[in-house]
Structure 1
């Protein structure tokens, strides 16, 4: 009987890059400040991380279809202002507020998707323009200072605890599970990867690339709107800059997590791990009492190092 020379497939070192970095960050922080691993600090980290992780999931979906969304932070702030427009003091208004925010966010995502697909505007320009439009509408409505109020229940959703776990972390976990199933177990998820990997091939096999790309932008905007509501619940106040910086942080987190800017590669698990690394970096420099300038320098160095490590690992695995 002829024999075949079967070799085990080599391990892909790229899949271990982020977990290794997470472990290294936690070990370093614990060595420098043992209180880092205290239950209270870990709960604070997870509570703080959830809004960014939700936005990062949406950003990852858009990047999978060869796009990006610079309007997510402005959308978060706008939806937070929309939520205060009702001046509702009764928690019974919360479902209505969430429904309105989902609808309005979906409209913003639809507009972004149509600009990119039908008008052939680059994702950078289209979403940058949307960011500016939302900012203008927000400032025109608030006249520079939001004056509305949120139901007290938002504080519970953004910063409360349920069975010892942050409520917003539980909501993130539910959204993560739903989106993971969509991307990995449904035809829509397969189409998102096909369109992102090779739009021309997708058209040849009968897929509507434009429609799938639009769905990606809608999902991203809806998740950003929901993230904005949870973030304002965590912060406890509403201003015109809620979520400022999340547009870049979500892109950086997704790239660190292995989501390709060229589309069609990566997933939300890696993207959320990248988001958690960003939050850990911010927390570490705070508990060490470093000045803001040092925080920015350290964050930038670690981000560049982590991204370079992942790219190097990918090259070695190919």
Structure 2
């Protein structure tokens, strides 16, 4: 009897810890939403809710790619620069009819594949740290954009891209529908394909993955390419929402995407996390920024909130890591 009595509290404690680790962010999201509805009445208005979802979609697209890179023990600081470059490409064609979307998409994806390939090559073949490799690529893209636009980007965003980024169908933002489609594709890839299983194995233990015959460098390389492709798509969605372009479209998304992904339970140590959790992290981060504005805080206060969120995310990650 004594043995049972002594183990039951411990079992319950571990059960509670496991529940919090798996569902803590979802619970926090619900509490945050209810609290915002009570203390910031403007939050629950249909227009504001639609605005939150519309704003969360570009970040969510980028988070999908960042999630893949973090799962293999890296991260990508070049995503915001890829977004801005795709946005500049979107307004660099003289033709502004819907047919211009085809060359825009083609050039944007080629740019993204090139950037992702360089990032992947530097990390896997030259053994450059992900921080330095992607930071260098971010700076290179910034220089190329300023050289191409002569410091002042201009041009019109094609109507189809505007519709994709800012319009809604029966109250549901079109960019959110695109995010859902991409999320299903990435989620199925991670959970149902050999490549997805390899991503988790490489992130969990690269040496063990190599011993069982997995090409670790190839898997990591592929994740960086996919991250850049998704960042380019996110940039096109964002410029469609904004409706105009400058050289800094997407600024801050490199940090926001990392914060949202880690908040969503994707381990910085690799090999653990889900697409759903990362997307909830993106929504929570967008919701927090929206609430700060509704409560009358200045825009600059968002930086304070962002710093606090980073500290909390790191604290939660370290606590979970030590408990394991």
With the length of structure 1 as denominator, give the TM-score of the two structures: 0.93
- Aligned counterparts of 2:37 and 2:76: Cα–Cα separation in 1: 35
How far has the Cα of 1:176 moved from its partner? 0.2
The question of 1:81 aligning with 2:88 is answered yes
- Aligned counterparts of 2:302 and 2:188: Cα–Cα separation in 1: 36
Partner of 2:197: 190
Task: Within 5 Å, give how 1:1-318 maps onto structure 2.
Answer: 10=15, 12=18, 13-309=20-316, 311-312=318-319, 318=324
How far has the Cα of 1:96 moved from its partner? 2.9
How far has the Cα of 1:315 moved from its partner? 5.4
Q: Check 1:233–1:170 CA distance in 2 against 1; reply closer, same or farther (3 A cut).
A: same
- Aligned counterparts of 2:106 and 2:194: Cα–Cα separation in 1: 26
Secondary structure of residue in 2 paired with 1:261: coil
Secondary structure of residue in 2 paired with 1:115: helix
- Aligned counterparts of 1:227 and 1:113: Cα–Cα separation in 2: 20
- Aligned counterparts of 1:306 and 1:213: Cα–Cα separation in 2: 24
How far has the Cα of 1:177 moved from its partner? 0.3
How far has the Cα of 1:299 moved from its partner? 3.7
Secondary structure of residue in 2 paired with 1:244: coil
How far has the Cα of 1:304 moved from its partner? 2.8
- Aligned counterparts of 1:90 and 1:57: Cα–Cα separation in 2: 30
Number of equivalenced pairs: 313
Per-residue CA shift, 1:112-143, capped at 9, x if unaligned?
00010111111111000000100000000001
How far has the Cα of 1:303 moved from its partner? 4.3
* Matched-pair contact (CA < 8 Å) for 1:281–1:299: no
Q: Check 1:16–1:314 CA distance in 2 against 1; reply closer, same or farther (3 A cut).
A: farther
With the length of structure 2 as denominator, give the TM-score of the two structures: 0.91
Provide structure 1 residue ranges, at least 5 long, that are not aligned to the other structure.
1-6
Secondary structure of residue in 2 paired with 1:119: coil
Per-residue CA shift, 1:45-104, capped at 9, x if unaligned?
000110001101100100111111100001110111112111221112213321221122
How far has the Cα of 1:28 moved from its partner? 1.9
- Residue range with higher mean Cα deviation, 15-24 or 223-232: 15-24
- Aligned counterparts of 1:307 and 1:113: Cα–Cα separation in 2: 26
How far has the Cα of 1:106 moved from its partner? 1.1
How far has the Cα of 1:292 moved from its partner? 2.7
- Aligned counterparts of 2:33 and 2:118: Cα–Cα separation in 1: 41
Aligned-residue CA RMSD in angstroms?
2.0
Q: Check 1:163–1:292 CA distance in 2 against 1; reply closer, same or farther (3 A cut).
A: closer
* Matched-pair contact (CA < 8 Å) for 2:101–2:160: yes
Per-residue CA shift, 1:238-277, capped at 9, x if unaligned?
0000000000111111111111111111122111111111
How far has the Cα of 1:298 moved from its partner? 3.2
Provide structure 2 residue ranges, at least 5 long, that are not aligned to the other structure.
1-10
- Residue range with higher mean Cα deviation, 121-130 or 20-29: 20-29
